[in-house]
Amino acid sequence: MIWGIFAAMALGGLTIALLPIRRAGASLIQRADAVPAVLVDQLEEVDRDIARGLVSAPEADAAKQEIRRRMAQVLRRADQQSVATSGGRGALFLAAVFVPVMAFGYYAVAGAPDVPAVAFADRADERADTRRIAEVAGQLREKLMADPDGGPTKGWMMLGQTYVRMGRFDEAVTAFRRASGRDDAESATWSMLAEAMIRANDGTVTPDAVTALDRSLTLDVSNPAAVFYLAIADAQAGEVAAAHDRLTARLAETPGYQRWMDTYIAQANAYGETLGRAPIASRAPVAPGPSAADIAAAQEMSEGDRAAFIRSMVDRLATRLQDEPDDVDGWLRLANAFGVLHEMDKAREAYLRADALMPEGDPRKADVRASIAGLDKP
């Protein structure tokens, strides 16, 4: 039955494809507008956020799915325009015949449409988790809506964050708006609202988002997310120098090291490169190496004991990095240790982990990539 349906569909497609060959004059063909560059930039930004450890893999997947959905919407809205089609009939005829035949042959050999592919079947757990999350989100929303008091603020915040992870940014905005309208709304409530608005608008910082960011800073002037997105708004308005100044000023007034500084430095260096300004060095602390006592103890050991001692230190470091995978300096130390032990494959893997975590403006990145290239040489 299914093959009969496919045969009818192929015949219909062949008929439609061959009609233009018989027709004289101009014909209409679909012409998609160029997909806005900002959507492509958003996909790259998600990859950079993964590398910087700002988002988890599920959050990144949800964001990418939403971006691709919006790409599809843009393409569906593409206008038709009339173009003359006077040549290429032979190629059109070959394509009209060849494509259905090849498709039929491929499915006949590769598998029936009613048999799930292995890759699709392997994602059953992932799809089940997605359905469960959606069900829980729906139940939470119903509970909040049914509450005569409007539901607790924390409940709306939780719902908004869940929608963000699912890539349903418009619904996240609605949830965060509910929370931001309460007397107990905090600075983070407004910055999360602004971020959801930005992601719902393909990375564009809208005037409503700027208003939410300003409110966030009013409640907490030290909120790093608010300052960061206001800098993005500056850059989108063409004020790249103001965006750079905003980020560097926030860095200058904050002592010590915070995790968000890596993102600030990477973004500021991207702007600085455009402006011709000197790059900002990473402020991440350098992880300590072996102590003097460790070195002295190792020097007094036999060669076999020394190797065992080094191996134990490497194993401890590798174990710790499983629990703290965002420690760039730890991965660099581990890569160096594996190099000493002549375990080049493991050294390369550790260098790659460190490279993925480093922002583009990190001056250590060039040395890491040079080390990886050296390990790749035969």
**Does the CA dihedral 128-130-133-135 come out positive or negative?**
negative
Burial of 235 (0-12, 13-18, 19+ CB in 10 A): buried
- What letters, b where the CB count within 10 A reaches 16 and e where it falls short, cover 8-32? eeeeeeeeebeeeeeeeeeeeeeee
pLDDT at 77: 60
What percentage of the chain carries pLDDT values higher than 90? 23
- Give 337's pLDDT tier (boundaries 50, 70, 90): confident
Range from 71-80, 243-252, 282-291 that averages highest in pLDDT:
243-252
Give the residue-averaged pLDDT of 215-220.
Answer: 93
pLDDT at 186: 92
Largest separation between any pair of C-alpha atoms in the chain = 92
Q: pLDDT higher for 338 or 128?
A: 338
Distance CA 173, CA 176 (A): 5
Q: Is the pLDDT confidence value at 215 over 90?
A: yes
Of 330, 360, 334, 361, give the one whose Cα is nearest residue 348. Answer: 334
Distance CA 259, CA 21 (A): 62
- Give 32's pLDDT tier (boundaries 50, 70, 90): very low
**pTM value?**
0.48
Tens of pLDDT, residues 9-29: 666 666 665 555 555 444 443
pLDDT at 166: 85
Lowest mean pLDDT among 72-76, 166-170, 307-311: 72-76
Distance CA 85, CA 215 (A): 56
Tens of pLDDT, residues 143-192: 888 888 888 888 888 888 888 888 889 999 999 999 998 888 999 999 99
Of 375, 377, 322, 378, give the one whose Cα is nearest residue 352. Answer: 375
Q: Is the pLDDT confidence value at 126 over 70?
A: no
Burial of 120 (0-12, 13-18, 19+ CB in 10 A): exposed
Q: Are 259 and 303 spatial neighbours (Cβ–Cβ below 8 Å)?
A: no
Of 273, 204, 206, 272, give the one whose Cα is nearest residue 243. Answer: 272
Which one-letter DSSP state was computed for residue 35? P
Tens of pLDDT, residues 264-304: 999 999 999 999 999 888 776 655 555 556 656 666 667 77
Q: pLDDT higher for 336 or 101?
A: 336
Mean pLDDT of the chain: 75
Bridge partners, 80 (sequence order):
30
